[in-house]
Amino acid sequence: MPGVSEPNLGKATSHGVIHTFIEYRAVEGSHWKEPTRFTLEQSINGRFLFTAVLPGIGPLETHVTDAVTRKWQTECGVLAGVEHI
């Protein structure tokens, strides 16, 4: 997808629990040091849910991540959400 580089599928352990994640670098208006990481959460109604927590206060410019999540939802039926901290 345009604006996305270094895609990575991986697993991380937190408090003894293994979490699957998808991460990438994105050319966004807002910038942060780490890749944008979506972690797989418990499925809701049989659908997968990936969530990302992005740093920053106030509105962030995330046009690439918005396009990625729309594509996942429309083409893959995967729910994806972004939270700001």
Say how far residue 66 (Cα) sits from the centre of its chain: 10
What are the extents of the domains in the chain? Answer: 4-84
Task: Look up the pTM and report it.
Answer: 0.83
Query: What are the mean pLDDT values of the chain's consecutive 10-residue runs (85 residues total)?
Result: 94 91 92 89 79 79 92 89 79
Q: What was the pLDDT predicted at 57?
A: 64
User: What are the strands, taking DSSP E only, across the chain?
Assistant: 4-14, 17-26, 36-44, 47-54, 79-84
Q: What was the pLDDT predicted at 84?
A: 75
